[in-house]
């Protein structure tokens, strides 16, 4: 489920999460609230076939070179340039894939010599993140309950 604000594709007017969610769930998108604008609003994501932001193009190699843990989730890793990102981190950088299936250069299995830095957790992103959070002591505390 989408959470967050959006912007008009014509005038860049910002719309709130409730407006974005209502438009998406209605299957129509969110119309721009600015008077006189006939544009529609989209979430802050890059749609397939659209150009990536300039700051991505300027920084991705440097960012991957400085990465000390890579977490990849919810992707097919089939679209360039993102498909190559996991291979740009250093040879000793741990890589974690939380996904419905193993993709890219991630490998399942342990002790095969090639999977010395990779962890694959197949399943939903929500479930994988909950399990990962639990392992590092960040369990979600239910409202009203003390742990």
pLDDT at residue 37, rounded to an integer: 93
pLDDT at residue 48, rounded to an integer: 73
Report the SS3 class of residue 86.
Answer: helix
Tens-binned pLDDT, residue by residue, of the chain (147 aa): 445 688 898 998 989 888 888 887 887 778 898 999 999 988 877 777 778 778 888 999 999 999 999 999 999 998 877 889 999 999 899 999 999 999 998 887 655 566 678 889 999 999 998 898 888 888 766 555 554
pLDDT at residue 143, rounded to an integer: 52
Q: Phi then psi for 132, rounded to 5 degrees?
A: -60, -45
pTM here is 0.65
**Beta strand pairing call for 40-42 and 118-122:** unpaired
pLDDT at residue 128, rounded to an integer: 92
- Asked if 4 and 17 count as a contact pair (C-beta separation under 8 A), the reply is yes
Angle at 71 between CA 88 and CA 24, to 5 degrees: 110
Match 């990779």 to its residue by tokens: 118
In CATH terms, the superfamily for domain 60-135 is TPP-binding domain (3.40.50.1220)
Report the SS3 class of residue 125.
Answer: helix
Q: Where are the domains of the chain?
A: 6-42, 60-135
pLDDT at residue 33, rounded to an integer: 87
- Asked if 110 and 120 count as a contact pair (C-beta separation under 8 A), the reply is no
Of 112, 79, 114, 76, the residue nearest 95 (C-alpha)? 114
- Asked if 85 and 60 count as a contact pair (C-beta separation under 8 A), the reply is yes
Question: Which tokens go with 78?
Answer: 């089939």
């Amino acid at each position: 489920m989408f959470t967050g604000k959006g912007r008009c594709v014509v005038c860049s007017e910002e719309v709130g999460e409730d407006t974005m969610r209502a438009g998406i769930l209605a299957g129509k998108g969110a119309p721009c609230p600015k008077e006189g604008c006939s544009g529609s609003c989209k979430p802050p994501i890059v749609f397939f076939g659209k150009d990536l932001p300039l700051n991505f193009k300027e920084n991705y190699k440097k960012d991957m070179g400085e990465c000390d843990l890579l977490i990849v989730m919810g992707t097919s890793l089939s679209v360039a340039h993102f498909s190559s990102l996991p291979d740009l981190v250093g040879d000793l950088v741990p890589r974690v894939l939380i996904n419905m299936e193993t993709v890219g250069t991630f490998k399942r299995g342990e002790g095969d010599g090639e999977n010395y830095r990779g962890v694959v957790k197949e399943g939903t992103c929500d479930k994988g993140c909950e399990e990962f959070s639990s392992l590092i002591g960040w369990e979600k505390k239910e409202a009203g309950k003390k742990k």
